Each structure stands twice: as C-alpha cells, then as structure tokens.
Structure 1
Amino acid sequence: MNRKYLLISACAVAAIAAYITLRPAPVEEAAHSALTEGDAMVAIQMPPIEGHAAFGQRIFENACAACHGSNAVGVEGAGPPLIHVIYEPSHHADESFQRAVAMGVRSHHWQFGDMPPVEGLTRGDVSMVIDYIREIQRANGIN
C-alpha cells in the first residue's frame, strides 16, 4: 500500500517539474524581456487631446515623462507605463495618482523601485495630468 502512494507521489512531482520546465513564457513576460533600457514599454493609439487634458499633457511631459515616458508609455529601466490595465480607474482611482505625486509610492506592481514625491505640482496640476492619462487610457480600451 505505501509503495502505491510513493509511486503516485513520484509521478505527481515529475508532472509538476515537467510543467514548470516546459511551459511557455507568458506573452507579457516574453515581450518585456525583449526590451532594452530606455525603450517604450507599450504601444498605444493617441487620441486628440483637448481642454484640461492638453494642459495635463504639457505638465506630464515636463514633470513625469522622464520616468513614465512620453504619452505615459513607460520607460524600460526607469518607470512603468500608465497606459496599462493596472492603472484603470477601478484599480487605481484618481486619488491614488494624487497621493503618489504628493507622497510618493512604494513599489508594488513593477520592479522599478519606489516612486519619490514630485515637487512643485498642485492638486489642480495633477487633476489635469489625470485627465490626460484617462483620455489616452479610454482611447486604448482601458476604462
């Protein structure tokens, strides 16, 4: 009887080891590994930007693009893309962006390290940046 359980356990361990060794890499992981430092991390469709979002675009390009990339596509080795399902409004509400800018944020979704606070931006400035990011997100199916 013990021999039977030993054989079943050995087969289960072998099956798990084979799965771990032979499984294909997830698409996002494979695409991520092909990037080199400084590359944009996502491809997006850019909508027309108007109103407060246009002001937000200018603020973003001056205060945020060095890490998050022009049009928030991320920069490999510097900062994550904000045009990503992780930052959809139901997961990262507008206030989470306000708090990240004001107080910084501990790294929790990506491996870029902690985000420091961004000096010199008001809540109004950040609101316009959020309008800009949400415009691009909506144009790319992130609601």
Structure 2
Amino acid sequence: MKLIYAIAVILAVGAVGYAFWPTTEPIVQSGPTSSSGDTALAEVILPDTFSDNARIGRLAYEAKCASCHGINAVGQDGVAPPLVHKIYEPSHHGDESFQRAAALGVQGHHWPFGNMPPVDGITRGDAAMIIAYIRELQRANGIN
C-alpha cells in the first residue's frame, strides 16, 4: 500500500511540474517591452530550444533582470542596454564581468544609461544560470 501511495505522489508532483513547465515563445521579441511605453533597443531571435541551465537562467533573468534589460534581453530605451549586443560578446565581456556586475554593480561606460546598481539576492550560481541564458540568446543572434 505504501508503494502505491508513493507512486501516486510522484505522479501528482510530475503532473503539477508539467502543468507549470514553460511554453514556447514567439521567435522574435521586439517593440514595446513594458507598460510604461519604453521600447526595445534590439530585435532578438530566440533559439529553438534552451539548455536546462539556460531555462533555469531565464526564470532568474525574468525575476531579477528583465525589469531593466527587457524581456529576452532586448534592452529598454532610456532604462538599460540590450544584452544581446556585440558589445557583450564573450571576448569583450566575459562571464566574470556579468558576475561582477550582478554582485558589485558597474559604472556606466558603453551606454548613456548611467550606473548599474548591484542586484540584491542573486548568488554566483544564479548569475551563472542567467549567463547561460544570455549566451544562448547571443549565439542564436550571431554573437559568439
């Protein structure tokens, strides 16, 4: 009887997880990205699929980064730059630069948006997953 109960619980948890699994999104994200009327600064083509780490990173990005950098890292006019941009290619801004920006903030130097403050409540592990998401978006858009 305990075995049947355990299997039922596992199936129920699996069904709930499946119900909340992210669905696919449109291939291109551009145009207005917030209710305040700000517009995207980049057109971003989404990859057909994301790795497991990038899917986790996408959730963290949406919770901690999208309010400034826009959905799918398109940037927001007057708010923050797009992260899917050749300025942020790995050879110019390596993964550690993203880690440091999240942990310590960063002085504005490429764009006229001002300084970026540190991101509260983000761990190095969270940032690593967010970086995986951003890098996969970049590769899908020809930024290597």
TM-score range, shorter chain: 0.7 to 0.9
**How many angstroms apart in 1 are the aligned matches of 2:73 and 2:99?**
16
Alignment-derived partner of residue 97 in structure 1? 98
Letter in 1 for 2:40: A
1:49-128 paired onto structure 2 within 5 Å: 49-128=50-129
How far apart are 1:83 and its partner, in Å? 0.0
If you compute each CA radius of gyration, which structure gives the higher value, 1 or 2?
Answer: 1
TM-score, scaled to structure 1 = 0.74
Alignment-derived partner of residue 46 in structure 2? 46
Gaps of 5+ in 1: 1-36
How far apart are 1:101 and its partner, in Å? 0.3
TM-score, scaled to structure 2 = 0.73
How far apart are 1:44 and its partner, in Å? 1.3
RMSD: 1.2
Q: Percent identity?
A: 59
Bigger proportion of residues as helix: 1
How far apart are 1:57 and its partner, in Å? 0.2
Moved over 2 A (4+): none
